[in-house]
């Protein structure tokens, strides 16, 4: 860790992600010294390649704007680099390296042949016109296209990158490279996308929670759920929770959260989708429309619930929030977001022995379905909604089984952090061992 910190100064999120993995992997590596001799971990914390580039574009007033673009190609031992693009003003090298590092383990857990990568820009799509977003995406892809390809590196969406952005990015890739390939996932269904990809991360986090509950002979029916965020992952976590009989009482955005004690239903969720995906408004409008409470500048973790789904961003649950969740009776946390719980919050969950599914396991449904989109693109054949959903569901069951296999402790407690880290590590490490010193 000292070396990682010294070599990557100021990248606190990257240090955090590496530390969590290293801490749970060290006992396993001590028992399997071959990984130590081959310096697997030292190699895994060093990206295979990092690209950083200028993204100039012209806004609607004719003024030139300059953003910074990135792509981190972290590890390709088990397949082409795969991972989303994030467009958000907070994006920097350290954040994308943490996301790329997590992605390596997550993609390995999916059982599909995908390496790990991540990219993005400090561009903020909020408040921009569609034309501005298009011009930015075209400039971003003009540079990115030289580093990616359907068998090399396949980006997708993440925060700030949804169907609209993937469309603009794909259009520019096709124009420059003159090829129609599966170079991006999250495409629209009419031009090579997969059914269920938009739903997959949220659905997957709910399927994972359901599997965790099954270990205690329970299910989601009748449970009170809190969800944070109101973007892609949150929207479909809420949809699946409603379908499974839970009562979802919160959603949020970066300005605050709404508390609806009667619970979201399909009609209310349709309002949120229209608000967020089309009008691109603020969640406060939900409180105004349905006459419920809105808590400005706050997160939903002090609301009483059985199950919590953090689906917004990293480090959105701190130690106090975690203590509050547990004090209020919450005993399941399934992370739709990447690293939404601080290390102190994770300590609280593990000490309380609740059912805690870390993001790299619980939110792997999104990238899994991206992998299924790649398969369909290679075959040039689309699968039905039922087929993709069944495959997604089975993958989440398999990931859960892997966590149980490597994370069950002597007293029977399932430490999903340990299970996901060891389960994700083995496949990548073994591939690296036989591929030589690369």
**The tokens of 302 are what?**
């002090």
Residue 79 near ligand AKG by CB under 6 A: no
Q: Residue from 370, 376, 377, 415 that binds ligand AKG (CB under 6 A)?
A: 370
Q: Residue from 69, 80, 83, 198 that binds ligand AKG (CB under 6 A)?
A: 83
Least distance (Å) between residue 254 CB and ligand NDP = 3
Residue 311 near ligand NDP by CB under 6 A: yes
Q: Residue from 84, 193, 336, 340 that binds ligand AKG (CB under 6 A)?
A: 84
| Window of 26-34, 69-77, 306-314, 426-434 that interacts with ligand NDP by CB under 6 A | 306-314
Residue of 118, 187, 247, 268 with catalytic role: 118
Residue 366 near ligand AKG by CB under 6 A: yes
Residue 196 near ligand AKG by CB under 6 A: no
| Window of 145-153, 164-172, 309-317, 406-414 that interacts with ligand NDP by CB under 6 A | 309-317
CA-based R_g, the chain, Å? 21
Least distance (Å) between residue 239 CB and ligand NDP = 13
Sole residue written with tokens 């016109």: 129
Residue 223 near ligand AKG by CB under 6 A: no
Residue 232 interacting entry, from ligand NDP, ligand AKG, none, C-beta within 5 to 8 Å by type: ligand NDP
User: Does residue 201 have a known ligand-binding role?
Assistant: yes
Cα–Cα distance for residue pair 424/410, rounded to 1 Å: 21
Cα–Cα distance for residue pair 347/24, rounded to 1 Å: 12
Q: Residue from 76, 139, 228, 338 that binds ligand AKG (CB under 6 A)?
A: 338
Residue 69 interacting entry, from ligand AKG, ligand NDP, none, C-beta within 5 to 8 Å by type: none
Residue 165 near ligand NDP by CB under 6 A: no
User: Does residue 328 have a known ligand-binding role?
Assistant: no
User: Does residue 402 have a known ligand-binding role?
Assistant: no
Residue 112 near ligand AKG by CB under 6 A: no
Q: Residue from 24, 142, 185, 421 that binds ligand AKG (CB under 6 A)?
A: 185
| Window of 133-141, 159-167, 348-356, 429-437 that interacts with ligand NDP by CB under 6 A | 159-167
User: Does residue 82 have a known ligand-binding role?
Assistant: yes
User: Does residue 370 have a known ligand-binding role?
Assistant: yes
Per the annotation, the verdict on 118 as an active-site residue is yes
Least distance (Å) between residue 65 CB and ligand AKG = 25
Residue 83 interacting entry, from ligand AKG, ligand NDP, none, C-beta within 5 to 8 Å by type: ligand AKG
Q: Cα angle at 358 between 99 and 214, to 5 degrees?
A: 150
Residues 374/154, Cβ–Cβ less than 8 Å: yes
Residue 322 near ligand NDP by CB under 6 A: no
Residue 233 near ligand NDP by CB under 6 A: yes
Which residue ranges make up the annotated binding site for substrate?
A: 82, 103, 106, 157, 370
Q: Which residues are annotated as a binding site for NAD(+)?
A: 201, 232
Binding residues (CB under 6 A) for ligand AKG: these are 82-84, 103, 106, 156, 158, 185, 338, 366-367, 370
Active-site residue numbers?
118
């Amino acid at each position: 860790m000292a070396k990682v910190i010294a070599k990557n100064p100021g990248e606190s999120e990257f240090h955090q992600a590496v530390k969590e993995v290293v801490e749970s992997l060290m006992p396993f590596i001590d028992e399997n010294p071959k990984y130590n001799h081959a310096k697997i971990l030292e190699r895994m914390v060093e990206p295979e390649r990092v690209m950083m580039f200028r993204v100039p574009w012209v806004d609607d007033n004719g003024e030139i704007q300059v953003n910074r673009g990135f792509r981190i190609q972290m590890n390709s031992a088990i397949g082409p680099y795969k991972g989303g693009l994030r467009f958000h003003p907070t994006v920097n090298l350290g954040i994308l390296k943490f996301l790329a590092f997590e992605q390596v383990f997550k993609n390995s857990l999916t059982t599909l042949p995908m390496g790990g990568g991540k990219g993005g820009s400090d561009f903020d799509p909020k408040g921009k016109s569609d034309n501005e977003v298009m011009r930015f995406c075209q400039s971003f892809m003009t540079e990115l296209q030289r580093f990616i390809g359907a068998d090399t590196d396949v980006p997708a969406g993440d925060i700030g990158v949804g169907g609209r952005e993937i469309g603009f990015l794909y259009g520019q890739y096709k124009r420059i490279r003159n090829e129609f390939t599966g170079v991006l996932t999250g495409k629209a269904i009419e031009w090579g996308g997969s059914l269920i990809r938009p739903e997959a991360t949220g659905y997957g986090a709910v399927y994972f929670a359901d599997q965790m509950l099954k270990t205690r002979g329970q299910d989601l029916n009748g449970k009170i759920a809190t969800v944070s965020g109101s973007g892609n992952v949150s929207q479909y976590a809420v949809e699946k929770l409603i379908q499974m009989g839970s009562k979802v009482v919160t959603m949020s955005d970066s300005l605050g959260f709404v508390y609806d004690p009667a619970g979201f239903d399909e009609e209310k969720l349709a309002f949120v989708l229209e608000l967020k995906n089309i009008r691109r408004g603020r969640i406060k409008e939900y409180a105004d429309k349905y006459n419920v409470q809105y808590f400005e500048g706050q997160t939903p973790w002090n609301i009483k619930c059985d199950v919590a789904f953090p689906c917004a961003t990293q480090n959105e649950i701190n130690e106090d929030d975690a203590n509050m969740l547990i004090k209020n009776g919450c005993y399941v946390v399934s992370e739709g977001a990447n690293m939404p719980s601080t290390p102190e919050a994770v300590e609280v969950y593990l000490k309380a022995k609740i059912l805690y599914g870390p993001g790299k396991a619980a939110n792997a449904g999104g990238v899994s379905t991206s992998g299924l989109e790649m398969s369909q693109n290679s075959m040039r054949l689309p699968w039905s909604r039922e087929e993709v959903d069944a495959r997604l569901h089975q993958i989440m069951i398999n990931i859960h089984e892997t966590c149980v296999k490597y994370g069950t402790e002597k007293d029977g407690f399932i430490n999903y952090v340990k299970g996901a880290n060891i389960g994700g590590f083995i496949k990548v490490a073994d591939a690296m061992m036989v591929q030589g010193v690369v």
